[in-house]
Amino acid sequence: MDIETMLVELMAIPGPTGRETAVMDWLRERWAGKCERVWETKVGNLLAHVGGSGPALLIQGHADELSFVVRSIDERGFLWLSNGQAPSTNVTHRFPVGQPALVIGRGGRIEGLFAAASGHILTARQREHERVDLDDLFVDIGASSREEALALGAHVGASVVW
């Protein structure tokens, strides 16, 4: 497999913060036959030692990606979000608006679209603010009700990536 194909395959694996198992498994599987040793540390880092006699080289990266968490599902089937990162991480909420969303639901992946509250659904408080806050950000998965969203596998606590 060439490097471009491998990177595209790796980048297609959702790895929301705290739920990077699929990414780590993918790496472990590919490294296993090519490295002298592959192991996981007590805090969950995946390490590989290639071996050989050349100069030492460290390649380091994150297995997780910026994410959100579903905090509620309203009666219209919209998934309202919370920051899926550590409390000190400030995700700029306007960036994902209009972008495809991927919800990691109970039965697998649910495709949707990041959206922000607009004229027809704004609350009075939201109309007073000019910027998009996290409270304004939701995912539309095409459900027309809370029950339909739940039937698709959406749930409070589900991770959402883009």
What residues does each domain of the chain span? 3-49, 68-161
Buried b / exposed e over 12-36, threshold 16 CB at 10 Å, is ebbbbbebbeebbebbeebbeeeee
Task: Answer whether CATH 2.40.30.40 is correct for domain 68-161.
Answer: yes
Alpha helices in the chain (DSSP H): 3-11, 21-32, 124-128, 146-151
Higher pLDDT, 89 or 3: 3
CA distances from 98 to 16, 115, 128, 132, 142 (A): 19, 6, 22, 13, 14
Question: pLDDT exceeding 90 applies to what percent of the chain?
Answer: 49
Question: On the CB side of 85, how many CA atoms lie within 13 Å of its CA?
Answer: 13
Angle (CA) 9-156-22 rounded to 5° is 20
| pLDDT for residue 106 | 93
Q: Does residue 119 carry a pLDDT above 70?
A: no
Structure tokens at 145: 């009700």
Indicate the pLDDT class of residue 63, thresholds 50, 70 and 90. confident
| pLDDT for residue 155 | 97
Indicate the pLDDT class of residue 93, thresholds 50, 70 and 90. low
Question: pLDDT exceeding 70 applies to what percent of the chain?
Answer: 84
